[in-house]
Amino acid sequence: MPRLAATLVVLLPPLLLSAAVAAAPLPPGGGGGGGFGFEATLRHVDAGAGYTKAQLLARAVARSRARASTLQSLATLAPGDAITAARILVRASDGEYLMDMGIGTPPRYYSAILDTGSDLIWTQCAPCLLCVDQPTPYFDPSQSATYRSLGCSSASCNALYYPFCFQNVCVYQYFYGDSASTAGVLANETFTFGTNATRVAVPSVSFGCGNLNAGSLANGSGMVGFGRGSLSLVSQLGSPRFSYCLTSFLSPVPSRLYFGAYATLNSTNASAAAGPVQSTPFVVNPALPTMYFLNMTGISVGGYRLPIDPAVFAINDADGTGGTIIDSGTTITYIAEPAYAAVRAAFVSQIRLPLLNATEASVLDTCFKWPPPPRQSLTLPEVVFHFDGADMELPLQNYMLVDPVSGGLCLAMATSEDGTIIGNFQHQNFHVLYDLENSLLSFVPAPCNLI
């Protein structure tokens, strides 16, 4: 039986992750996804930039608002338009985590924005006719012994949304929701994952070598897609499973990414109190096939299942709008109306604190006066997300935060005009497994700073 309330002790702001890629030999006894695998660590895009906790929170919330707006608008783009069909489901400047990888022979290392909402792997290349700032030199194909441009009839070229052919060389172009873009040559190259001690080199990975780029890459030098399409890293490496465990904002320990044979939830829990592993099937949305959609069935607040029609969370069969996405690149969760209104009403009725007035600039509009009066204890209602076959019971620090502007105690969720997006703030300190082979998302509470 789930607990009905949680006592407020410490509020953890959004995630701050840290990292550098580390590969390792296969785990004892192997794992899922065949014999190939590696481990990696993740660095938050704002890590080491000297921001205060309040600034980090404000920047993460702002990125979430922009990304959610883009994800929601892409579902309604006009079908049949070649340019809009080429748009991918991310904002280039609004990813959250960076993953290191080596490109070429000998390998040159770059940090790329990891994105579960897109497929293409790409970096900026020399000679760069139009490029944006990045922390590393541009990749120079002439300095690699294994670089090969791809022809127009190649399978990878045909997998692009909108391929071009120039002198029998495949040319790609991607457009982003924030007016960013990348265009260049589609090529094959050897990619390296790992440290000096243990490395995994993978030949013939298709990627975009960008010569014309616009927008912003935050602190990265490209992007690496972990989506469901054939050009994503997950699909190309032939080990259709990956997992991550995101540490809390205040933890000095990096977050973890596991790929292939390492992506398993066996022995993740440090204690039996964490509960069993739960799984829910992915749902395919033909209009947005690269995204990870789930069948969300309801929400409970304070032990009460809210009276929400499950159709609020479902994909619209007519045009592909709506639905529920789990997205590592969005920080807070966006809940479709009228479900958000029901959640907000439940919090207002159950929390005995004055409600703060929201402004036009507010993203978080369910905020309460904080701190409470002296000698007043405060209990907060627990939140459970219900999915087909699984319940995600959120720890307190995964849904409440202190807003840096108002100083209020806020619900880390916001309203959405089209669809629901489960953000990374809600699944911090969960080990989350994406199993594409069996079309399942599995998760279990985990001490991510320990595994």
Nearest to 83 by CA among 161, 185, 170: 161
Separation of first and last alpha carbons in the chain: 28
* Rg from Cα positions in the chain: 22
d(CA 298, CA 388): 9
d(CA 349, CA 340): 14
Contacts of 81 (CB under 8 A, 6+ apart): none
Structure tokens of 180?
């960013």
Nearest to 119 by CA among 59, 165, 73, 186: 186
Count Cβ atoms below 10 Å from residue 404 Cβ, excluding itself. 16
Strand order in the sheet with 390-394: 304-305, 296-301, 383-387, 390-394
d(CA 341, CA 349): 12
Residue pair 77/87 in contact by the 8 Å Cβ criterion: yes
Under DSSP, the state recorded for 80 is: T
Query: Which member of 46, 100, 115, 418 is catalytic?
Result: 115
d(CA 319, CA 287): 7
Q: Where are the alpha helices (DSSP H) in 87-198?
A: 155-158
Buried b (16+ CB within 10 A) or exposed e, 95-120: bbbbbbbbbbbebbebbbbbbbbbbb
Q: Is 365 a catalytic residue?
A: no
Strand blocks (E) in 28-151? 37-44, 97-103, 108-115, 122-124, 148-149
By DSSP bridging, strand 169-175 and strand 420-422 are unpaired
Q: Concatenated DSSP letters for 6-35?
A: EE------S-------B--PPPTT--SSSS
Length of the chain: 451
The backbone torsions φ and ψ at residue 241, rounded to the nearest 5 degrees and listed phi first, read -160, 140
Query: Which member of 46, 94, 100, 327 is catalytic?
Result: 327
Q: Is 178 a catalytic residue?
A: no
**Residues annotated as part of the active site:** 115, 327
